[in-house]
């Protein structure tokens, strides 16, 4: 009897909880709904005050305009070349920072040396340096290297700035990895890189997914570095989207702007939809030692 009364008393609380969750879900998804719906409308429907209503005339013309024929900067090129710039920038930067972070985490946990804690502290400190503080030194460095205003220059910037975060992830993950396996491999004659490639790296899938998602999201969504260190031909997607919005003269083409914003956000959204569940698992994988 007591069990039935307890379960019946929990039902109203659960209903209230679900209602609150549904309310928050609607609140957070409402901007996405507005963007998607208005990106499929003619501009006349938006300017007439029907922003929340479904399109009376469905059209993909705003998407086509944002992708290939919208005014961006001084040429009618659309977002397509800048989308490719972002892909070319993100993939090497994420791969290099993840690999170097894995090596750093491996060294700082399994091949410790005097001053390793201080070095890790400095790398960790680098994670919290504001972007604005490194703009002038980084611009000077890119100029000396001869890659200022280029996609390789942006790759270098994001690679360097991502090493601290990737090292933090892999260091904490490898700290929970059994050191006895590494010692046994050393006794069998395995060297530094063989232990890394054959033992640690194959077991680093969960934390590698975390690092890749984190780095991909930060690099793809970055605006400050892209606006500061890119030329017109090397601009990433976020900078091109800003130029698309600012270049509109007279009547604002809100449907084109919404379509461009969805294009810019779509890659990170797809990454979280496909691999979001592995992100939490990876974070928890190295949280408990032993």
Instruction: Say if residue 241 is in the same domain as residue 132.
Output: yes
Instruction: Say if residue 126 is in the same domain as residue 7.
Output: no
Instruction: Say if residue 152 is in the same domain as residue 45.
Output: no
pTM for this structure?
0.84
Predicted local confidence at residue 7, as pLDDT: 54
Q: What is the mean pLDDT of residues 177-198?
A: 87
Flag whether 258 is in a domain: yes
Predicted local confidence at residue 10, as pLDDT: 59
Q: How many domains does the chain have?
A: 2
Instruction: Say if residue 184 is in the same domain as residue 44.
Output: no
Query: Among the listed ranges 207-211, 221-225, 238-242, 249-253, which one has the minimum average pLDDT value?
Result: 249-253
Flag whether 270 is in a domain: yes
Predicted local confidence at residue 215, as pLDDT: 93
Flag whether 277 is in a domain: yes
Q: What is the 3-state secondary structure (H, E, C) of the chain?
A: CHHHHHHHHHHHHHHHHHHHHHHHHHHHHHHHHHHHHHHCCCHHHHHCCCCCCCCCCCCCHHHHHHHHHCCECCECCCCHHHHHHHHHHHHHHHHHHHHHHHHHHHHHHHCCCCCHHHHHHHHHHHCCCCHHHHHHHHHHHHHHHCCCECHHHHHHHHHHHHHHHHHHHHHHHHHCCCHHHHHHHHHCCCCHHHHHHHHHHHHCHHHHHHHHHHHHHHHHHCCHHHHHHECHHHCCHHHHHHHHHHCCCCCCCHHHHHHHHHHHHHHHHHHHHHHHHHHHHHHHHCCCCC
Instruction: Say if residue 96 is in the same domain as residue 35.
Output: no
Q: Which domain, by its residues, includes 232?
A: 80-285
Instruction: Say if residue 280 is in the same domain as residue 205.
Output: yes
Domain holding 95: CATH number? 1.10.3720.10
Instruction: Say if residue 104 is in the same domain as residue 201.
Output: yes
pLDDT digits (tens, 9 = 90+) for 86-121: 999 999 999 999 999 999 999 999 888 888 889 888
């Amino acid at each position: 009897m007591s069990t039935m009364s307890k379960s019946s008393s929990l039902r109203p609380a659960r209903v209230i909880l679900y209602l609150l969750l549904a309310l928050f879900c609607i609140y957070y998804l409402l901007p996405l709904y507005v963007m998607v719906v208005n990106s499929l409308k003619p501009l006349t429907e938006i300017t007439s005050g029907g922003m929340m209503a479904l399109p009376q005339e469905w059209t993909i013309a705003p998407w086509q305009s944002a992708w290939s024929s919208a005014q961006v900067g001084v040429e009618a090129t659309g977002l397509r070349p800048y989308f490719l710039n972002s892909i070319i920038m993100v993939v090497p930067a994420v791969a290099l920072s993840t690999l170097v972070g894995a090596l750093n985490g491996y060294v700082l946990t399994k091949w410790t040396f005097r001053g390793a804690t201080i070095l890790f502290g400095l790398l960790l400190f680098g994670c919290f340096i504001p972007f604005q503080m490194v703009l002038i030194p980084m611009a000077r460095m890119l100029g000396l290297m001869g890659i200022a205003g280029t996609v390789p220059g942006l790759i270098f910037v994001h690679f360097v700035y991502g090493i601290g975060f990737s090292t933090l992830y892999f260091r904490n993950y490898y700290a929970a990895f059994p050191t006895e396996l590494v010692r046994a491999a050393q006794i069998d004659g395995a060297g530094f890189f063989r232990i890394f490639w054959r033992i640690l790296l194959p077991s680093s899938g969960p934390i590698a997914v975390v690092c890749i998602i984190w780095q991909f999201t930060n690099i793809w969504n970055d605006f400050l570095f892209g606006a500061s260190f890119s030329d017109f031909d090397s601009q990433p997607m976020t900078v091109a989207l800003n130029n698309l919005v600012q270049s509109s003269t007279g009547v604002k083409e809100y449907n084109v702007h919404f379509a461009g914003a969805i294009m810019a956000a779509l890659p990170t959204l797809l990454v979280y939809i496909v691999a979001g569940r592995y992100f939490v698992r990876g974070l928890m994988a190295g949280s408990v030692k032993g």
